[in-house]
Amino acid sequence: MDAARPGASQAARDALLIQVAAVALARHPEMNATFSDAKIHRHSVISIAVAVATEDGLYTPVLRNADRLGLEAISAGVRELTKKTREKRLKAEDLGGSSFTISNLGMYGVDHFFAIINPPEAAILAVGAVQARPVVNGAKQVVAGKVMNLTLSCDHRVVDGVVGAKFMAAVKQLLEQPAKLLL
């Protein structure tokens, strides 16, 4: 998620994306799964790994119970995990046990990419840059707007296209109408 060193607005956007993904995972629990030992494992705890780039490579520390955290707690948790990663203070428990990953290359200006699933997880969400684009509003007028591409990669042994599509529809709805996070 934090592939570079984001500014305040990027950090707030990252926290919102994590909260949205966590709520969507709670609403679609079949997505909150892993595949190991030739079995599907459904998880009651939503633990989201966030991709953090360092000079030594990419790490994916885990934010646990993400669905039970508010934006401030998510933001603080990601900041702490990022700091620990960059200071080489991660412990094994910081890296294991995720059920979903978010990878964000938006801060590099990448508008669209396909992320590779981190086994044994069933899915990963790729987040592109927010870009100014013309959009059609409710009154069918073309206006200036902001657009962000999201791509979901799924392990089809666990998650089929319909389940992935329903999850992405929930993510889209929550991003477009964040007040629904409270419902």
Q: Which of 28, 41, 112, 156 is catalytic?
A: 156
Residue ranges of domains in the chain, CATH in brackets: 8-182 (3.30.559.10)
**Residue type, position 144, single letter:** A
**Residue type, position 82, single letter:** T
Res. 14: pLDDT tops 60 = yes
pLDDT in tens, 58-83: 999 999 999 999 999 999 999 999 99
Task: Give 7's pLDDT tier (boundaries 50, 70, 90).
Answer: low
Identify which has the larger pLDDT, 114 or 183.
114
28 catalytic? Reply is no
Phi/psi for 29 (5° steps) reads -60, -20
**Helices then strands, each counted (H, E), the chain:** 4, 9
Specify the pLDDT at position 181.
82
Phi/psi for 147 (5° steps) reads -130, 140
Residue 17 near residue 129, CB atoms below 8 Å: no
pLDDT in tens, 94-148: 999 999 999 999 988 999 999 999 999 999 999 999 999 998 988 899 999 899 9
Q: How far apart are CA 106 and CA 148, in angstroms?
A: 9
Q: Which of 49, 5, 12, 24 is CA-nearest to residue 165?
A: 24
pTM: 0.90
